[in-house]
A and B are shown apart, each in its own frame.
Chain A
Amino acid sequence: MRTTEEVRDALREVLDPEYPISLVDLGLIRGIEVEGTKARIRLTYTCLGCPATDMIQDDIRDRLLMMEGIDEVEIEVVWDLWSRKDITPLGRKKLREVGVV
């Protein structure tokens, strides 16, 4: 069975549609569980009016289904608060490189 860390590492390859940083580094991933071959992801967004919500979910699904041992992905949007403080140091570094933050 895949571990949550392996799933998180895979999600580090899924970039936000707007900025070149991963969903993990942007602080959008709020929970990962793996049960057998099913991955459960808890997700929030940077704002409620985010126009890329479906795209982000599709990208998560596409990437995780590429993992051996994962054949189902369940995404729960939890609408947790999000702020710039949720961006990881690596995320902030990458955003600075492109002139954001």
Chain B
Amino acid sequence: MSERPEGTEEIAPARSSMEEFMVEDDEALAALVNLIAVLGDNEYFLGRRVSEWADAGPLLESTAACAAITQDKLGHSRVLYPLLEELPWPNPPTSLQGEQDRRRRYSVSFLDEPFKSWSNVVAALALVGPAVNVVLESVATSKYENLAKRAQRILDEERLTSAYAEGLVRQIAYNERGRKLLQERVDELFLEMLCWFGPEGEEGIEVLKREGLVSMSNEEMRQTYLSRVVPLLKEARVEVPVEWDEREQRWEYGDLPWNEWNQLQRRLQRPKKSA
């Protein structure tokens, strides 16, 4: 006999959230569509890039972990993309199944090319993953229930990946060669991730907040992110251009390269490196 009351209304209250969900403000709807595309693409390309190390990690265990993480990340993108179809927005970005499915990418530029080094995998899992999770936390109580519920489920699955990624940082930084490689990758990626949350007071996010679709402003997300990733990087002796301001109780990060920032696609426009 079952101990839990499976299949009851207590566990799965009847709900047809799309019938109830309405966004009156077109700007909020546009920002919501963009946010979902950004989350979906970053999950997708994280999965894709990590998958390319699923037969090549430094240890058998890390190789197997890459396969598991890939399955998770692709699964996350797969549950986010259908939301683009159900929102009343004309011509939303399409779901990605293959790398070239869509010309315009809404993922960070760090994920554009196959990773040449294991240090890229570690940096992506340690810096891109937590950023995506902070945004997911911001939508986990969204009044758009279909998104909130998926975000909660993804975050539940991410607990293990986050802990594993922290272990990878400690592992790679254990010796000086690994630490230097990670430092190089962090140098390439860190500012892009700080920009990723968008400029302070960005209208699209502000309107999402006013509409109850996200719970944090850009700056709140960025500060949350920094509080999460900087202590680990410091512990691993990886330097990052931020300082904790005790008086203001916030992280100071100086000027960010907004002139290179693509606001729509949430990525830095960087010239491709020559080989």
> Which residues of A are at the interface with B, using a C-beta cutoff of 8 A?
4, 8, 24-25, 27, 29-33, 42, 47-51, 78-81, 85-86, 88-90
Are B2 and A31 closer than 8 Å at their CB atoms? no
Distance in angstroms between the alpha carbons of A30 and B11 in the assembled complex: 7
Are A79 and B72 closer than 8 Å at their CB atoms? no
Residue of A nearest to B150 (CB): A79
B19 CB → nearest A CB, Å: 13
Are A31 and B153 closer than 8 Å at their CB atoms? no
Contact residues of A: prevailing secondary structure: mixed
Residue of A nearest to B156 (CB): A81
Are B12 and A31 closer than 8 Å at their CB atoms? yes
Are A49 and B152 closer than 8 Å at their CB atoms? no
| Contacting residues, chain A, for B59 (C-beta < 8 A) | none
Given contacts A30-B7, A81-B153, A81-B156, contact A47 B75 (CB under 8 A): yes
Are B156 and A49 closer than 8 Å at their CB atoms? no
* In-complex Cβ contact of A29 among B6, B153, B154 (8 A): B6
Are B7 and A47 closer than 8 Å at their CB atoms? no
| Contacting residues, chain B, for A78 (C-beta < 8 A) | 12, 149
Contact residues of B: prevailing secondary structure: helix
Number of B residues with CB within 8 Å of any CB on chain A: 26
Residue of A nearest to B15 (CB): A78
Are A47 and B72 closer than 8 Å at their CB atoms? yes
B1 at the interface (CB under 8 A from A): yes
Distance in angstroms between the alpha carbons of A27 and B8 in the assembled complex: 12
| Contacting residues, chain A, for B153 (C-beta < 8 A) | 48, 79-81
Could you give, for residues 207-218 of chain B, a 1 whenever the CB lies within 8 Å of some chain A CB and a 0 otherwise? 000000000000
Are B6 and A86 closer than 8 Å at their CB atoms? yes
Residue of A nearest to B75 (CB): A49
Distance in angstroms between the alpha carbons of A76 and B151 in the assembled complex: 17
| Contacting residues, chain B, for A86 (C-beta < 8 A) | 4, 6
Distance in angstroms between the alpha carbons of A80 and B238 in the assembled complex: 38
Distance in angstroms between the alpha carbons of A50 and B73 in the assembled complex: 11
B71 at the interface (CB under 8 A from A): yes
Are A31 and B9 closer than 8 Å at their CB atoms? yes
* In-complex Cβ contact of B75 among A8, A50, A85 (8 A): A50
Distance in angstroms between the alpha carbons of A100 and B48 in the assembled complex: 30
In B1-39, the 8 Å CB interface with A consists of 1-4, 6-9, 11-12, 14
| Contacting residues, chain A, for B203 (C-beta < 8 A) | none
B79 CB → nearest A CB, Å: 5
Distance in angstroms between the alpha carbons of A49 and B44 in the assembled complex: 12
4 new A-B pairs (CB below 8 Å) besides A81-B153, A88-B3? Answer: A27-B4, A79-B149, A79-B150, A80-B153
In B111-170, the 8 Å CB interface with A consists of 149-150, 152-154, 156-157
26 contacts between A and B (CB under 8 A): A8-B7, A24-B7, A25-B2, A29-B6, A30-B11, A31-B8, A33-B14, A42-B12, A47-B72, A47-B157, A48-B72, A48-B76, A48-B78, A48-B79, A48-B153, A49-B73, A78-B12, A79-B79, A79-B150, A80-B11, A80-B149, A80-B153, A85-B4, A88-B1, A89-B2, A89-B3
